[in-house]
Structure 1
Amino acid sequence: MGPGTGIDTKFSVKGSLIVPREVLDDLKRYASSTPRLLRQAKAHRDHKDCLFLTRSSKPYSPNLVSRLIFEMRQQAVSRGLHFLHRFHFHQSRATFGTWIIQLLLDTGIRTTDAVRFVRDAMLHKDERTTLNYIKFLEESRGKQELASKFSQAFTGLCRRTWNQEDA
């Protein structure tokens, strides 16, 4: 991704995507599936290399993708998945970054190596952007510990028998 690849990135950062093996296998199966090959056969020669083509054998435009995601969210919410009501793609990206850096740190990897890996995986131009994930984790951890201590103290108060002398 990035300059010279046909896939624009923010600040023209160049890099690669991390794709889970299962997803890659699904994409390979789809690439050789009959529906996709029929769309490819009808596609303009400039679009024959596109993996995803619409029913009219044209590449998906950014506006169409946005509309389809919006419709998918609406359907999901109507079926009870209310957390998707306020879902935004960029939030899932940040969640991924935070999640992956936490996993790396939990393995005992050095913080600098974890930051470098996540910076490259997320195509951050500036390492300071990635360091915000570390800052978020540290602040969240402190807030979680505080909430836990408060909860323990409050629960202890609620469980006391107030009729006893040492209450």
Structure 2
Amino acid sequence: MFILDKAATCVDTNSITKALKLWIVWLEETEIDPFSPAALHYKSPTYGFKEELLLKVNYHKSISYNTAANYINVIKNFYQFLGDINVIEPTLFFRHEQKFNGRGKAINATDLSIRPLRKHQGSSLNPLTKSECTVLLSIIEKLSRRDYLMIMLMLGCGLRGQEVITMNSCLFSSEVFSENEAFLIQGLEIGPDVGVMTKFSIPRELFITKVLYEEVLDFVEDANYLRALKKAPSQDNYKPLFLLSNGNRINKSTLYNVWTKIKKEFAESTGKPLAHKPHDLRATFGSNLLRLLADEVAHIDDALHLVKTAMGHKNVVQTMKYVSHLSRRDTLAQAAEVLDAAAIKFYIGDSL
């Protein structure tokens, strides 16, 4: 009926047929119901297909950006058509949004739109090597508990600097720890609702191992932290995880001062410079997690979607940058290797 409707308005139905055929095959392979919206984008019949098309453009190189844009537009129009005849509510499958073109003119669009990814100079990833990580871990174990955990949350959880700075200690409790028996703590969401400033204000589940979670829990239950917390401004359901001596929350300068100290110690220890920024810790986490998942799951596409979720990427194109590091022999073989090495002092009872 949808194709007939387009044919009646003198629209070339060839590309429409190709788009629908590819979409239906994908729906069957993924066992996704086209009439059921999903909370997770990769399980959605619209957003999931958009990410599938982006994979075909950037990873498989089987279609062009223009073709992908046309195909997702067909699916958007299909759902709009179903809405017009009162079969479904289109807003459950995509959202309208206003964007601006190069001339500053407002245009109507949807969040399904596909556009070529702009390349910015200096935006390539620079994850730490295995040898660099080994030295880094030995250095941060000598830092204060606060500074050690700041770095570990970036390296072991893939947090951005701003997310570490605004992390809420209320997320760390004995109840949550005791409820989780798996290797990873599950169901812990970060975002503006809990005071954590994620990129684009998009909430996501925090990827954190139980070992690292317990280290943070020990920190927030320590008398030194509790004394510092008494100086902090009182806020409902929000307590800064990392504080200055005056009770104020840490800032970017705090993080960069710690990193400068680490770089100095690294150079003195190895005779080589640590040519990395704090954000490269997040890149290290993403690269290692993708490598680990690529060995564990059947398809690289599935691994990419899992890394996308853990990293809080807006779309899978951002995650594609990590694929190039899968073949780097000097990169850590597994993300857990870093976490286990950092957790040694916890198991033997050493203190910082």
Task: Report the TM-score when normalising by structure 2.
Answer: 0.36
Q: Which residue of 2 aligns with 1:129?
A: 318
Deviation string, structure 1 residues 67-107 (Cα, Å, up to 9, x no partner): 22212321232233735x21222223222212211211112
Unpaired segments ≥5 residues, structure 1: 145-167
Equivalence map 1:31-42=2 (5 Å): 31-42=220-231
Q: 2: CA distance between counterparts of 1:20 and 1:87?
A: 25
Q: 1: CA distance between counterparts of 2:217 and 2:322?
A: 33
Q: Which residue of 1 aligns with 2:308?
A: 119
Cα offset, 1:31, TM superposition: 0.7
Cα offset, 1:117, TM superposition: 0.4
Matched, 1:95 2:281: no
Q: Which amino acid aligns with 2:199?
A: K
Matched, 1:75 2:270: no
Q: 1: CA distance between counterparts of 2:233 and 2:204?
A: 28
Q: 1: CA distance between counterparts of 2:279 and 2:204?
A: 18
Cα offset, 1:7, TM superposition: 2.3
Cα offset, 1:63, TM superposition: 1.8
CA contact (8 A) 1:13 1:124 kept: no
Q: 2: CA distance between counterparts of 1:30 and 1:21?
A: 14
Cα 1:80–1:51, aligned 2, differ >3 Å: closer, same or farther? same
Q: Which amino acid aligns with 2:240?
A: C
Cα 1:60–1:137, aligned 2, differ >3 Å: closer, same or farther? closer
User: How many equivalent residue pairs?
Assistant: 139
Q: 1: CA distance between counterparts of 2:325 and 2:264?
A: 31
Cα offset, 1:58, TM superposition: 1.4
CA contact (8 A) 1:43 1:58 kept: yes
Cα 1:46–1:5, aligned 2, differ >3 Å: closer, same or farther? closer
Helix, strand or coil for the counterpart of 1:42? coil
Q: Which amino acid aligns with 2:250?
A: Y
Flag as ranges the 4+ runs of structure 1 deviating above 4 A.
none
Q: 2: CA distance between counterparts of 1:66 and 1:137?
A: 26
Q: Which residue of 2 aligns with 1:156?
A: none
Cα offset, 1:3, TM superposition: 4.1
Cα 1:44–1:8, aligned 2, differ >3 Å: closer, same or farther? closer
- Relative contact order (alpha carbons < 8 A, sep ≥ 6): 1 or 2 greater? 2
Deviation string, structure 1 residues 16-72 (Cα, Å, up to 9, x no partner): 221121111011111111111111123232497112211222110122221222123
Deviation string, structure 1 residues 131-155 (Cα, Å, up to 9, x no partner): 2322x147x47xx7xxxxxxxxxxx
Identity rate, percent: 24
Q: Which residue of 2 aligns with 1:164?
A: none
Helix, strand or coil for the counterpart of 1:82? coil
Task: Report the TM-score when normalising by structure 1.
Answer: 0.71
Cα offset, 1:111, TM superposition: 2.0
Q: Which residue of 2 aligns with 1:149?
A: none
Match of 1:61 among 251, 266, 269: 251
Helix, strand or coil for the counterpart of 1:45? coil
Q: 1: CA distance between counterparts of 2:312 and 2:295?
A: 22
Q: Which residue of 2 aligns with 1:29?
A: 218
Helix, strand or coil for the counterpart of 1:112? helix
Q: 2: CA distance between counterparts of 1:57 and 1:127?
A: 39
Helix, strand or coil for the counterpart of 1:98? helix
